[in-house]
Amino acid sequence: MKQKRVVLINPNTESHRTAEETLGIGYLAKILRQSNYVVNIIDSWLEKLNPSEIISRIANDSVPLVIGFSCYHSNLKQS
């Protein structure tokens, strides 16, 4: 049986704040994993990834069923 794969992305942001984990992505990942999804979190804010590096990470993995973004005002452009 093919695995159900999901990629959750927190885009890098232009902010005066220091990088921090996004709890919403963590909570969603936990629920999806409990429902037998394979979840990959790409936190480009913490890892300081640019859009090309995010795309490379997605391309190097199996084709996901869903790609989700954590979008808010300070990272809307990057999203």
10-residue averages of pLDDT along the chain (79 residues): 83 64 87 94 85 86 80 61
Which DSSP string do the residues of 42-76 spell out, in sequence order? Answer: EEHHHHT--HHHHHHHHHTSPPPSEEEE---GGGT
pTM: 0.76
User: What local confidence, expressed as pLDDT, does residue 10 receive?
Assistant: 85
Please check whether residue 67 is in contact with residue 7, taking contact to mean a CB–CB distance below 8 angstroms: yes
Using a pLDDT cut of 90, give the percent of the chain over it: 25
Both tokens of 7, joined, read 């990629």
User: What local confidence, expressed as pLDDT, does residue 33 receive?
Assistant: 95
Both tokens of 63, joined, read 């084709």
